[in-house]
Each structure stands twice: as structure tokens, then as C-alpha cells.
Structure 1
Amino acid sequence: MMTGKKLIISALVLALVQIGFLSWIIAGRAAILRDGKQVLLRVEPIDPRDLLRGDYIMLSYDISRLPVKLIANIPAGKLTSDDTPIVVRLKQGADGYWGATTARFGQAPAPAVSDEVDIVGHVSEGWDFSAATTIAPDYGIERFYLPEGEGMAIQNDMRVRPFGVRVAIAADGAAQIKALMDGDKTLFEEPLY
């Protein structure tokens, strides 16, 4: 049986481990936002609301629907496996928005050059590449939370004029939303912490 002193020390150690783990998660997200390469993606609206976290907008991008012919290494069985990672190489277009130039399952054969960036997404199981013309990767940047009451208004505005999302992408391809843009105007910016 543990004595009172040992119990208190154990509880403190457990609390420190939990705080350390949460700090590590927050610091990792902040590092991407601070140091990642920034790209601007054109968004398409989907209806908002989360009972626990409030208003949000669901985001879909031009890179959310990739033509299968863009993928350099289609799997041999022509079906994806569980949560297959896909690396999508982006390059900035003349309009300022970034778009996909190539895609590859696994890892990119060569690092992106200075005017390009690789974003890593995941493709759900079961895509049949012999039948599909496009696939839909998930990049982990498909939701953006807003202050209460802002979601529907922005969602409606997105249907009539172009919006974008400034995204920070780390060297390993992990992405975080940095800001929601209405044309050239920043509507909401994510804090580092």
C-alpha cells in the first residue's frame, strides 16, 4: 500500500506527464503555424455547426478532388489500403492560389524546389483506381472554427464570392490553417497558442 507521500508524488508525476504531453501537441501545431511554408488555397463551402465547439465552416479545396491521372504511382492492385498517405506537390498559380501539379502515394521521390511545397493527405480505403476518375484526400484542414454566430453568414458569403485559406505547411507535409481570407482581407487568423 502506498503512503500519503508516495501517493502525492505519483499524482504530481502523472500531472507533469499529462501537461508535458499537451504542451508537446500545442508546440507542434504552433511550430507549423510559425515556421511552415504558407500557401493560399481556394475554398468551397459546406454547412456549419458543432454542438460542442460552436460554429465552423467545412472546407473543400481544389486539391480535395485529385484526378487519378495526376498520381504518379497507382498501387498495383488498383485499390487503396487503409488510410493510404498521399503526397501532393503544390505550385502557386498566376492568380495567387496554389494547386496540385503531381501526386504520389508514400513519399515524394525528390524534395520540392523553392517555388513548390508538398502537402500530405490521406486517402480512405477502397478507392478503385480502375473505375475512379478522381480521388478525395483528407489533409486535416477541412474544418475552421469561428466565433459564435459567424458561421452561417460566412458560409453564405462563400457561395457568392471567392474565399481562401492561408495554410502553413511543415517540411514533413503536415498542414495547419493559418487564416481565413475574404479575397485579400484576413477575416480570422489562428493564434499560435
Structure 2
Amino acid sequence: MQPNQPENPNQPDPASQAEQNSANADRAAASTPVNSEQISEHPQPEEPSNAAIGSNTSSTSTFKQTQQPERRKIGAWRMWAPIGCQSLLILSVLIAPLQAHLNGKTVVLRTQPIDPYDLLRGYSQTLSYDISNLDNLQELPGWETLPKTQFNAPNRPQRPESGTSFYLVLKSPDRGSSDNQAPNPWTPVRIASTEPQTLASNEVMLKGKIEWSAARYGLERYYMPESRRDEINNAVNLANRNQTGAVEIKVRQDGYAVPVKLWVGQEDFEF
């Protein structure tokens, strides 16, 4: 057996050798110059300049300014649109009577006797005409064209359904009225369920609607100021409560009509 060899005092310790190698590597890295091309391959983000910040702020402000008027414009349209629709509706209601007054043909209708006590119940007067009576209309040519309501009772006369529209053709009187007298009324000559295509020069059509047991033409109710109401009431009493009156109307070509004047005896009252 060989004796143990003594350790070499000049051989370095492995742990201290590793620490020395690491320190040498750090010194070498610190002393090595940095290549500028390597730095340029990985550029760092630049800080925004003051000019760029000001430009972004200005564009944001401009965007807000351009958006605000548009929003105000949309809000204004939302407010004015309903007002405009209501104005058009009011104009359409006013234009129809105005057109009838300006361009309509003058027609006279005979009324049923006027009850003066109706005038004391308010500022309106309800009138009925000879052409409001369905018994008078059923004698006219064309009555059979109107749709009728079927009843189970055999003896009950058939009537047109409520809500049925029709056109009544009226003919002017052969002679005019005398002075200080109500004008002679026009005479109904035929009735039709559809608008007549041809009319004589002395004829006019009046549009009506069946409402239960009577015919209505939109000429049944008139509104009077209080002073005129009393005046008409006195005229009815002086004339005769059983005396018929007359109403002068203006009729458009499509059958729409408006009242113009009421005759009671020898006196006339404009609406």
C-alpha cells in the first residue's frame, strides 16, 4: 500500500476559482464598448413633444365643437317636428272651408221648423233639413244602390247602414225668389253611393253620411255669438214657430259644403 500523497499547496481551491472567473467576466463586460447599431435595432419609445400634445388637444376640442351644433340641431328638430305637424293639421282644417267660401257654388237648403228654445241652451243651433229625412230620400232614383241593413221583422223598412256615405244631387230652382223673401231651395233629384261622374250646369252634388235614422251633411250645427243668438230667437218668434227656414251654403266640386247664411222669414243672418 502506497502512502498518502501530500496535498499540493499551489493547486487552487475549486470554489474560489469559480468566484474569480465570475468576477473576471463581469469586469470584461463592463470594459467592452457598446455597439450603436445594436442599440438602434431596439429603439426606445420617444416622449411626446409639446407640439404633438398641443395638436392632439386642439383636434379633440375641434371635434367637440363640431359635435355640439349637430346635437343642438337634432334637439331642435325633435321640438319643432310636432309643432310643424300640428300647424299643418290646423291649416288643413282651415283651408277646406276657405276654399268652399271662395270657389264653391251657392246652394239653398230648406230647413225644418226652427225651435226658438234651442237657441237659449247655448251658442249653437241644431238644424234639420228636408234632405235629412230618410223617408224623403228613399223616393229618389239611386236609393237602391245604398247598402241596407237586414231586419228580421218583415214589415220594417230597410234602412242604409249607419256610416254609409253617399252623394245627393241637387238641382237649382226654375225661378228666383222675390224681394225680401228667402231664396227658393234647391231640389234633390237623385242619390248615389259613389261620386257622380257627370253633372248638368244647374246641378251640384252634396256629400252626406247616414247616421242611424237620419242623413247628415256637416251642416246641422251653427255657432252664434250671444247677441246674434237673441236676435235670431226674436226673429223666429215674430215669423212663426211652425215656419220653415232656409240656409245658404257654399258647395265645392267634391261635395264638401260650409254654411254662409241663415234665413228666418224675411231676415237673414250671416255666419
TM-score normalised to structure 1 length: 0.76
Q: Does 1:74 find its partner at 2:164?
A: no
Q: Is the 8 A contact 2:111 2:245 kept in 1?
A: yes
Which residue matches 2:207? 120
Tell me by how many angstroms 1:14 deviates: 1.7
Which residue matches 1:85? 165
Which residue matches 1:178? 260
Which residue matches 1:128? none
Q: Distance in 1 between matches of 2:216 and 2:206?
A: 11
Q: Distance in 1 between matches of 2:198 and 2:163?
A: 23
Which residue matches 1:130? none
Which 5+ residue runs of structure 1 have no aligned equivalent?
126-134
Tell me by how many angstroms 1:179 deviates: 1.9
Q: Is the 8 A contact 2:207 2:255 kept in 1?
A: yes
Please list the CA deviations of residues 77-135 of structure 1 after superposition, one character each: whole Å capped at 9, or x if unmatched. Answer: 63223411121111122452112111122333x4221101110110135xxxxxxxxx6
Q: Distance in 2 between matches of 1:77 and 1:162?
A: 31
Structure with larger RCO (C-alpha < 8 A, sep 6+): 1
Which 5+ residue runs of structure 2 have no aligned equivalent?
1-70, 150-159, 178-183
Which residue matches 1:32? 100
Deviates more, 1:94-103 or 1:31-40: 94-103
Q: Is the 8 A contact 1:62 1:99 kept in 2?
A: no
Q: When the two structures are aligned, how many residues end up with a matched partner?
A: 175
Deviates more, 1:92-101 or 1:113-122: 92-101
Q: Distance in 2 between matches of 1:182 and 1:82?
A: 31
Tell me by how many angstroms 1:67 deviates: 3.5
Q: Does 1:145 find its partner at 2:227?
A: no
> Taking structure 1 as reference, are residues 164 and 76 closer, same or farther at Cα in structure 2, changes over 3 Å only?
closer
Q: Distance in 2 between matches of 1:187 and 1:77?
A: 38
119, 124, 130: which is aligned to 1:48? Answer: 119
> Taking structure 1 as reference, are residues 71 and 137 closer, same or farther at Cα in structure 2, changes over 3 Å only?
farther
> Taking structure 1 as reference, are residues 58 and 82 closer, same or farther at Cα in structure 2, changes over 3 Å only?
closer
Q: Distance in 2 between matches of 1:106 and 1:58?
A: 28
Q: Is the 8 A contact 2:245 2:264 kept in 1?
A: yes
Q: Does 1:136 find its partner at 2:186?
A: no
> Taking structure 1 as reference, are residues 29 and 145 closer, same or farther at Cα in structure 2, changes over 3 Å only?
same
User: Counterpart of 1:178 in structure 2: which amino acid?
Assistant: V
Higher strand share: 1
Aligned alpha-carbon RMSD (Å): 2.7
Which residue matches 2:192? 104
Tell me by how many angstroms 1:11 deviates: 0.9
**Percent of pairs identical after alignment?**
24
Please list the CA deviations of residues 143-192 of structure 1 after superposition, one character each: whole Å capped at 9, or x if unmatched. Answer: 11101153355246336155321111111111111222345654123xxx
Tell me by how many angstroms 1:76 deviates: 7.8
User: Counterpart of 2:214 in structure 1: which amino acid?
Assistant: A
Q: Distance in 1 between matches of 2:209 and 2:108?
A: 20
Mark the structure with the bigger radius of gyration.
2
User: Counterpart of 1:122 in structure 2: which amino acid?
Assistant: K
State the secondary structure of the residue aligned to 1:69: coil
> Taking structure 1 as reference, are residues 78 and 22 closer, same or farther at Cα in structure 2, changes over 3 Å only?
closer
> Taking structure 1 as reference, are residues 107 and 55 closer, same or farther at Cα in structure 2, changes over 3 Å only?
same
> Taking structure 1 as reference, are residues 183 and 76 closer, same or farther at Cα in structure 2, changes over 3 Å only?
closer
